[in-house]
Each structure stands twice: as structure tokens, then as C-alpha cells.
């Protein structure tokens, strides 16, 4: 037991990693008040996982040897876009694909999906993570954070610790869509903002769907987006 504790807690975090763990612990009550129990119960474990993995990866880690992640996060970012949650989204904007089912997000959180009634008839679910946790609880709890909690990437754990809400999509068995989903994430803030976006996409057996994603910035602030997509394709989906 002593050997295990030593390997877990003797890791020396950088000053920046320590700053983020302290910030997370300070903000945790506020974050949890704005979220739901199913997301909150993963938070403390995610903070511990971030610390256990050594905080932000250094260039000595193979996947990051050409990118100094610690330096990327070493700026003063707000973690909440004050006064921007209810700002109207633009009616006209560039898209990557014209003929698509458009899903609009604001700072990573679901706002609107076009032709919702058509998708509902097919049994497709498109909603926020919080709504999915409350209305589709069994499906949500079967998949949420199941892949990310096993990840060796500490910034994925950071996402789990920070995220309050996000996007949930479920495609039922045998449903095949000719048009893709186009996810448009509008970034808006008065100050420089750290945006932790989280998407849970579940594709059931023999289903077919495509996802395309784009970003639009609506303000001149700087944005750092830490995005995690958990994609689950059940047995024999059609790619």
C-alpha cells in the first residue's frame, strides 16, 4: 500500500498545474450548483486523476513532445462567460455543409437543433448533457465518462472536472440518415475564456450517421477550447 501511495502522490506538479487544481477545488461548489448530480459525481475523481497523471503533460510525453501544453494553459482565462449565456446567436453564418441537420452550441452547450420533430419521429435524441442525465438517465449513465475516466490524457480529466453541460446525441438501432449532423459551436465571452466542451455521441446497432463540426467566434476575446468527444458505436454500426 505504501508503494502505491508514493507513486500516486510523489509526482511534482508544475506551478501551473497546481494553480488549476486549486482553482478547480475552489470553483467546485459553484460548478456543481450549475450542473446535475450525474456530472458532479465524476468531478472529485477527475481532479484526483489530473493530479495522478502529473497535471499538464510535458514534452517528455510522446503524444505531446512537440507541444508545450503547460504553456498553452499558462494564461489568465475566465472559466465562465458572464453575461453571454443569453446573447442571441446570429441568423446568418457560414457552414461547412448546406444540406445538414444543424446543431447549435454556445460555448460548448446545446442551444438548438433544426427539424427536431423530424428527428424525434425516428427516435433520435439531441439535447444537452444535463437534460439527457435527467430525462434519459439509464442511457446517459451507461456511457457518460466511461471512456474518458480511463484516458491517460490529463487534460481529458481536466475537462471532466470543469464541464457543467454539453451535447448529447443518440441514434437508435437501424436508423440511417442521408444528411449529416453539423455541429456549430459559437464562442462568445467578454473576457478571455477557457471553454471545456463535452459531447456524448451514441450510435446504436446498424445505424448510419455522419458528424461535421465547426467553430465561430462572436467576440474578439481569446478562447482556449478543451474539447472531449465520447463516441460510442454499438456492434456493427455503418460508418
pTM: 0.89
Yes or no: say if 139 and 170 are a contact pair by the CB < 8 Å rule. Answer: yes
Averaged pLDDT of the chain: 89
Rg (CA), the chain: 19
148-204 pLDDT tens trace: 999 999 999 999 999 999 999 999 999 999 999 999 999 999 899 999 999 999 999
Report the alpha-carbon distance of residue 173 to residue 196 in Å, rounded: 30
The alpha-helical segments, DSSP class H, found in 67-197 are 69-72, 116-121, 129-135, 137-143, 154-162
Are the C-beta atoms of 59 and 69 separated by less than 8 Å? no
Q: What is the pLDDT of residues 99-145, one digit of tens each?
A: 899 999 999 999 999 877 888 899 999 999 999 999 999 999 999 99
Amino acid at each position: 500500500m505504501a508503494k502505491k501511495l508514493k507513486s500516486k502522490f510523489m509526482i511534482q506538479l508544475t506551478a501551473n498545474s497546481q494553480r488549476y487544481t486549486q482553482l478547480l477545488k475552489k470553483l467546485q461548489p459553484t460548478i456543481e450548483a450549475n450542473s446535475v448530480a450525474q456530472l458532479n459525481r465524476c468531478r472529485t475523481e477527475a481532479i484526483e486523476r489530473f493530479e495522478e497523471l502529473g497535471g499538464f503533460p510535458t514534452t517528455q510525453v510522446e503524444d505531446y513532445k512537440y507541444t508545450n501544453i503547460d504553456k498553452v494553459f499558462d494564461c489568465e482565462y475566465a472559466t465562465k462567460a458572464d453575461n453571454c449565456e443569453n446573447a442571441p446567436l446570429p441568423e446568418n453564418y457560414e457552414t461547412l455543409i448546406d444540406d445538414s441537420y444543424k446543431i447549435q452550441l454556445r460555448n460548448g452547450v446545446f442551444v438548438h437543433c433544426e427539424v427536431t420533430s423530424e428527428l424525434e419521429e425516428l427516435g433520435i435524441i439531441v439535447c444537452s448533457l444535463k437534460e439527457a442525465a435527467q430525462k434519459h438517465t439509464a442511457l446517459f449513465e451507461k456511457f457518460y465518462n466511461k471512456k474518458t475516466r480511463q484516458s491517460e490524457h490529463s487534460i481529458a480529466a481536466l475537462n471532466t472536472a470543469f464541464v457543467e453541460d454539453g451535447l448529447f446525441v443518440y441514434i437508435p438501432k437501424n436508423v440511417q440518415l442521408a444528411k449529416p449532423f453539423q455541429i456549430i459551436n459559437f464562442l462568445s465571452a467578454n473576457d478571455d475564456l477557457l471553454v471545456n466542451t463535452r459531447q456524448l455521441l451514441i450510435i446504436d446497432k446498424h445505424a448510419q450517421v455522419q458528424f461535421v463540426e465547426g467553430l465561430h467566434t462572436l467576440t474578439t476575446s481569446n478562447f482556449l477550447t478543451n474539447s472531449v468527444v465520447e463516441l460510442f458505436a454499438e456492434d456493427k454500426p455503418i460508418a
